[in-house]
């Protein structure tokens, strides 16, 4: 069985006898787990309310509160409701075992225990927990994918069909100016649909591990200038001042195509939520051994609630831009994934009506540190 690396898995060991806790900890120490201990049910529940655990090893016969009650209450806690529980106890009769599973345990070991068996059971349940979490993420991905297809792709295609139908039915009654205007609207709808499909394909490829990363030395000013030129027409239409203020000779060590995509998404996002006459600026400076790049605007800004949903697949949030532009929320999720793949990170500072500052960090070339 090809088991995953479960180093630093967080395990809570609960037993009213200190010697029993020591024996369990000694058996698992070689696995490198992060272990926390409690000598009573109430203490275990107090710990479980404040931090998530990957697995709980729980005694049954304890004063104040027995293991069955601890397990039942544990299942109602937000942080640990899905955490697997293994009962480790001297109670070995069939009724006790059945009662343990009814309380919510996933496994049952009797005292005195075999160290090798304990390690194998713990590793197995950590693996099963990891698989379950990956399946939940995959389910969120599928739901997000179909939500985008159902809602966000429909609008541009409806526009394409409606406008082309107008041309087909009324072309003889339309002036040249009308035809040019409709053709322009068809082009814009097609461009929106194409851009959305490109994002969907990049996202799907990223989830399937099909995007390869080839880090290299990248000078940021010319890369940012390419994005400014690409999106310059959007800025011009909305009368937004778009400034590339990155210092010349600013270098990072990353994969060029994915970082270019990050710039396009963040600058495009800033333009979308900045009103007519606003400003979008790009800056960079070294920070904590990395290069920190900033994309700042003086646009709509965001509430804390909206900010918390931006990089999460399980929360769909969509806000129209200042000119009615639509988005899927995929762009920022892609940015986060691309940056993390490149050894970077992203953060946000924003407030309603005060604009937004997206800050992302990337490694610098080794010789530049």
Residues 227 and 322 in one domain: yes
Please indicate, yes or no, if residue 48 is contained in any of the structural domains: yes
Q: What is the pTM of this model?
A: 0.52
H helices of the chain, in order, are 18-28, 41-50, 67-74, 94-103, 115-147, 154-170, 176-207, 220-237, 256-272, 304-309, 330-341
Please indicate, yes or no, if residue 140 is contained in any of the structural domains: no
Residues 176 and 221 in one domain: no
Q: What is the pLDDT of residues 208-237, one digit of tens each?
A: 666 677 899 999 999 999 989 888 888 888
**Is 243 a residue whose pLDDT tops 50?**
yes
Please indicate, yes or no, if residue 106 is contained in any of the structural domains: yes
Residues 252 and 369 in one domain: yes
Residues 187 and 231 in one domain: no
Q: What is the DSSP letter of 303?
A: -
Q: What angle do CA 187, 190, 192 make, to 5 degrees?
A: 110
Tokens of 115: 């160290």
CATH at 332:
3.30.565.10
Q: CA 39 to CA 62: how far, in whole Å?
A: 9
Question: 36: helix, coil or strand?
Answer: strand
pLDDT of residue 194: 73
Please indicate, yes or no, if residue 125 is contained in any of the structural domains: yes
**Is 244 a residue whose pLDDT tops 90?**
yes
Confidence band, pLDDT 50/70/90 cuts, at residue 197 = confident
Q: What is the pLDDT of residues 247-275, one digit of tens each?
A: 988 999 999 988 988 998 899 889 988 98
Give the residue from 210, 229, 246 where a domain finishes: 210
Residues 162 and 188 in one domain: yes
Please indicate, yes or no, if residue 229 is contained in any of the structural domains: yes
Give the residue from 78, 100, 135 where a domain finishes: 135
**Proportion of the chain above pLDDT 90, given as a percent:** 45
5: how many CB neighbours lie within 10 A of its CB? 8
Residues 314 and 328 in one domain: yes
Q: CA 169 to CA 297: how far, in whole Å?
A: 44
Range(s) of the domain holding residue 164: 153-210
Please indicate, yes or no, if residue 1 is contained in any of the structural domains: no
Structurally, the chain folds into a number of domains equal to 3
CATH at 109:
3.40.50.2300
Residues 247 and 366 in one domain: yes
Residues 271 and 328 in one domain: yes
Residues 196 and 250 in one domain: no
Q: What is the DSSP letter of 363?
A: E
Give the residue from 182, 210, 238 where a domain finishes: 210
Q: What is the pLDDT of residues 317-327, one digit of tens each?
A: 555 445 445 45
**Is 195 a residue whose pLDDT tops 50?**
yes
pLDDT of residue 247: 92
**Proportion of the chain above pLDDT 70, given as a percent:** 83
CA distances from 268 to 156, 227, 228, 272 (A): 18, 9, 10, 6
What average pLDDT is seen over the chain? Answer: 84
Residues 110 and 167 in one domain: no
Please indicate, yes or no, if residue 148 is contained in any of the structural domains: no
pLDDT of residue 173: 85
Q: CA 290 to CA 365: how far, in whole Å?
A: 9
Residues 61 and 106 in one domain: yes
pLDDT of residue 368: 47
Average pLDDT for residues 296-312, to the nearest whole number? Answer: 81
Q: What is the pLDDT of residues 65-120, one digit of tens each?
A: 999 999 999 999 998 889 999 999 888 788 888 998 999 999 999 898 999 999 99
Residues 27 and 52 in one domain: yes
Please indicate, yes or no, if residue 144 is contained in any of the structural domains: no
pLDDT of residue 319: 58
């Amino acid at each position: 069985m090809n088991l995953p690396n479960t180093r630093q898995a967080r395990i809570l060991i609960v037993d009213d006898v200190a010697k029993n806790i020591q024996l369990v900890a000694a058996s698992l120490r070689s696995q490198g787990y992060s272990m926390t201990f409690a000598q009573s049910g109430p203490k275990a529940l107090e710990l479980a309310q404040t931090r998530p655990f990957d697995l709980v090893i729980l005694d049954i016969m304890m004063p104040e509160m027995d293991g069955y009650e601890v397990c039942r209450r544990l299942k109602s806690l937000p942080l640990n409701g899905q955490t697997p529980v293994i009962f480790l106890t001297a109670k070995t009769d069939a009724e006790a075992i059945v009662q343990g599973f009814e309380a919510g345990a996933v496994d049952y070991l009797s005292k005195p225990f075999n160290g090798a068996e304990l390690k194998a059971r713990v590793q197995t349940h950590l693996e099963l927990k990891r698989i379950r979490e990956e399946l939940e993420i995959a389910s969120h991905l599928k739901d997000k994918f179909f939500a985008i297809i159902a809602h966000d792709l429909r609008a541009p295609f409806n526009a394409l069909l409606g406008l082309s139908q107008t041309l087909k039915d009324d072309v003889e009654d339309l002036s040249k100016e009308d035809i040019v205007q409709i053709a322009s609207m068809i082009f814009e709808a097609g461009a929106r649909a194409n851009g959305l499909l490109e994002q969907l394909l990049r996202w799907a490829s990223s989830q399937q591990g099909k995007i390869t990363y080839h880090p290299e030395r990248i000078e940021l000013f010319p890369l940012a200038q390419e994005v400014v030129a690409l999106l310059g027409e959007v800025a011009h239409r909305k009368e937004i001042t778009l400034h590339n203020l990155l210092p010349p000779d600013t270098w990072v060590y990353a994969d060029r195509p994915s970082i270019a995509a990050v710039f396009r998404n963040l600058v495009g996002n800033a333009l979308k939520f900045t009103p007519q006459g606003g400003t979008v600026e790009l800056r960079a400076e070294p920070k904590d051994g990395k290069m920190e790049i900033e994309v700042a605007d003086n646009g709509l800004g965001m509430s804390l609630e909206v900010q918390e949903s931006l990089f999460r697949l399980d929360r769909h949030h969509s806000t129209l831009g200042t000119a009615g532009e639509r988005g899927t929320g995929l762009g920022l999720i892609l940015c986060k994934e691309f940056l993390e793949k490149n050894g970077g990170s992203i953060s946000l500072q924003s407030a309603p009506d005060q604009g937004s500052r997206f800050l992302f960090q990337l490694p610098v070339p080794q010789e530049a540190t």
